[in-house]
Amino acid sequence: MKTYVDADACPVTRIAERVAKEYGIPVVLLCDTNHVLNSDYSEIRLIGAGADAVDIALINLCQRGDIVVTQDYGVAALALGKGAKAIHQSGRWYTDENIDGLLMERHMAKVARRKTKNHLKGPAKRTEEDDRRFEESFRRLINEAIRARLNKRDGDVIPVVIEEKEV
């Protein structure tokens, strides 16, 4: 199991990285060449700038059982199709039950933007509560992924494994 982060302007990259490290889960941060990332834990993949280049690379890398962190509904849909789990930076899980509705909302918003010259207001400034909500949800998603991998039931204790790196 790996965690893939669509890291272009992702506000929860460090949280996802810290939590995944606690569980000993490798993290791959993907970003285009217009962004500069560094990490002592994660593998960083710089992808050439281009429309959807990072998204395509992420989907090509992820596999069944992996976790994808993205705010892009299209990437989430493709990840789910490969059997991966996906989570939004808000902490909302993408599921087979909600992804079609989310994609439809995205489409309707795009249609509405084309009809008017006014742009919709952007998201509110991120708060500590937003970060806390993401972290809690991400931990639950990791535990669910581990349980699914080990074929455990809800309520079973999931051991936390921390890999130590040699310095």
Asked whether residue 153 carries a pLDDT value surpassing 60, the answer given is: no
More confident residue, 123 or 70: 70
Length, in residues, of the chain = 167
Average pLDDT over residues 109-131: 78
CA–CA dist 48, 32 (Å, integer): 6
Q: 104-129 as b/e, with b when 16 or more CB fall inside 10 Å? A: eeeeeeeeeeeeeeeeeeeeeeeeee
Asked whether residue 10 carries a pLDDT value surpassing 70, the answer given is: yes
CA–CA dist 29, 44 (Å, integer): 5
Predicted local confidence at residue 35, as pLDDT: 83
Strands 85-87 and 93-94: antiparallel
Asked whether residue 114 carries a pLDDT value surpassing 80, the answer given is: no
Average pLDDT over residues 31-48: 91
Average pLDDT over residues 122-127: 82
Predicted local confidence at residue 13, as pLDDT: 96
Predicted local confidence at residue 33, as pLDDT: 85
**In whole numbers, what is the pLDDT of the chain averaged over residues?**
87
- Residue ranges and CATH numbers for the domains of the chain are 3-96+130-150 (3.40.50)
Tell me which of 67-76, 102-111, 138-147 is least confident: 102-111
